[in-house]
Homo-oligomer: A and B are copies of this chain.
Amino acid sequence: MVADTAPTHRPDSATATAQWVADILRDRIVKGVYPPGSRIVERKISAELEVSRTPVREALKLIDADGLITISRNKGAQVLQYGAEEALALFDVIASLESLAAERLAERIDPETLDRLEEMHDRMLTYHKVGNHSDYFDTNSEIHDLIVGACGNPIVTETHRKLMARARRRRFLAIMKPERLQEAVAEHEEPMQALRAGDADGAGRIWRRHLLHTGATVAALL
């Protein structure tokens, strides 16, 4: 998990260059290598990664579509600033989406998926007990992603993925707040029960509340 900002020469030419560049830039933005407000210059990236400007341009367009940067003519790409207000707005939408996902998942969940969830849930609790925050965070993310991915609605999955790119870094901060940690763990127990019971309405409602809390915690940090 070392910051591999080194070019590492593109893995293979089968992967589209533009996509490869986009992934690197996204990663750097999320990790804070390019702080909010900083400018990203096509020619710099192009030279550093040893590709032409064309794929860099296309990568920037992709990232722009994700809402991570703004592009202005002859002024280039700027990493978006964000404040408490935007964080609340973001989590309001994410909460709605995940709530919908939890609801739909509860309606259709199969034992196998439930088992995987239980296993992750236990694993997360263990990480929390031993204070392994990094793995705790990753497992937590996995749970959220599984719920969204298994809900049976690909549009939810896709939309969620795009929004999460904007939220992940902030969520990391929030979830690590010690007092929030305890709370969040508790908030994961209830929806598990609702899922076991197949209580769609409850699962959706409870999960949404959980995310709104996370959003409020993030916003409070800004």
**A164 interface residue per 8 A CB criterion:** no
Whether B92 lies near A100 (C-beta < 8 A) is yes
Whether A156 lies near B58 (C-beta < 8 A) is no
Instruction: State in angstroms the CA–CA spacing of A97 and B163 once bound together.
Output: 13
Whether B100 lies near A93 (C-beta < 8 A) is yes
Write the nearest CB–CB distance from A83 to chain B, whole angstroms. 12
Residues of B within 8 A of A156 (CB): 89, 92-93
**A41 interface residue per 8 A CB criterion:** no
The stretch from A28-36, A60-68, A117-125, A132-140 touching chain B is: A60-68
**A130 interface residue per 8 A CB criterion:** no
Question: Among A66, A90, A93, A158, which residue has the most Cβ atoms of chain B within 10 A?
Answer: A93
Write the nearest CB–CB distance from A139 to chain B, whole angstroms. 26
> Would you mind naming 21 contact pairs between A and B with Cβ atoms under 8 Å apart?
A16-B73, A54-B54, A58-B61, A61-B61, A62-B65, A65-B65, A67-B155, A86-B154, A86-B155, A89-B153, A89-B155, A92-B100, A92-B153, A92-B155, A93-B97, A93-B100, A93-B155, A96-B97, A155-B163, A159-B159, A159-B163
| Closest 6 pairs (CB-CB, A-B) | A65-B65, A89-B153, A96-B100, A89-B155, A96-B96, A93-B155
